Amino acid sequence: MVQDASRHARPVDPAPIHPLVERLGSYVPLTGDEMDFLQSLHEPRRKFPRNREIIVAGHRYDHVFILHAGFVSRYKVLPDGKRQVLNVGLPGDLIGFPACMFETAMNSVSSLTEIEVSAVPFTTLFGLFTRFPRIGAALFWSTACEVAMQGEHLVDLGRRSAYERLAHLLLELLVRLNAVGLAGELSYRLPLTQELMADVLGLSGPHINRMIRCLREEGLATIEDQRVVIHDLASLSSLAAFEESYLRPRKIPDAYQRVAN
C-alpha cells in the first residue's frame, strides 16, 4: 500500500521578505512581478569583514549595494585627516544611491561590523526605471527619508547643543533599528564606537564620554558595552526636540500609482 507522503511533509516556510522590499512596499503596493524582480537583486551575496572600505571617495564604481546584514558608515575625510560621518547604513539600505549619479564616488563607505551585501550594477538600477516605473518611484520616494535625515543632521551640527545632538542620534537609531527588527522597544545594540559617535556629531571623544555620563546620571539613557537602553523616552525626546515623522515618509499618492500602471 502506497502511503500519502504529503500527510507527513513539513510545510515549507515562505521566503522572508527583505527589509528593502518591505520598505519600498510600504510606499507603493508591489505586484508579484515587482517583488520577484527586487528579490532577484539579492543574490549572489558577499561578505566583508569589519573596517573594510566598499566605496572609496574619488574613485569610480559601477555598482550600488543592498545591505543585508551588519552596519556601514558613509563619511567624508578632509585633507587634514578629519572625518565627518554623514550617515549610518542599516540592513535594508541601498548603499551608494543616489551618489552613483556622479562620475566618481562623492563619499566613502566602510563596514562598521562584518557585513553581507549584494551588488546591483548601475545598468540594472537604471533599467528598472523603464521596466518597473513604480519601483523607480519608490526608490525616489525613499531618498526623501535620506534627505530628511541629512537635514536633521545639519540642524544637529548648527543649532543643537552637544547634549541634544547625542540624544537625537540615540533616538533616531532607535526608530531606524526598530523598523528593521533590530531593536527592542527601548534598547538596541549600538553599531558605533565613541570615536565614531564623535565623528557623527562633530565632537571630541572626551566630550562624547562626558555626555554619555550625563545621560546616565540624569536617568535618561545608558550606553554600556555598545548597548543603548533608553530609561526615560519622553524626557529624552523632549531634550532633543525629537519628532520621528521625518523617518516615516507617507505612501506614494494613488494618482501616481494609477498613472504608472
pLDDT tens digits for range 11-31 = 333 345 678 888 888 888 888
SS3 89: strand
The predicted-structure confidence for 123-150, as pLDDT tens digits, reads as follows: 888 888 889 998 988 888 888 888 899 9
Maximum CA pair distance of the chain? 81
pLDDT at 257: 53
Task: Report the predicted TM-score, pTM, of the whole model to 2 decimal places.
Answer: 0.86
Task: Name every residue whose Cβ is closer than 8 Å to that of residue 166 and which is 6 or more positions away in sequence.
Answer: 197, 201, 208, 211, 212, 215
Query: What are phi and psi for residue 39, nearest 5 degrees?
Result: -65, -30
Alpha-carbon span 4 to 216, nearest angstrom: 62
Neighbour count for residue 62 (Cβ, 10 Å):
9
Q: How confident is the model over 96-123, as a mean pLDDT? A: 87
- Any idea which architecture 161-240 has in CATH? Orthogonal Bundle (1.10)
Q: Cell 550625563 belongs to which residue?
A: 214
Alpha-carbon span 40 to 138, nearest angstrom: 17
- Could you give the residue range(s) of every CATH 2.60.120.10 domain in the chain? 18-153
Would you give the distance in Å from CA 247 to the centre of its chain?
11
Asked whether 220 and 239 are in contact (CB, 8 A), the reply is yes
Sheet strand arrangement including 108-111: 53-55, 108-111, 72-77, 83-89
- Could you give the residue range(s) of every CATH 1.10.10.10 domain in the chain? 161-240
* 18-153, CATH topology level: Jelly Rolls (2.60.120)
Binning pLDDT at 50, 70 and 90, where does residue 248 land? confident
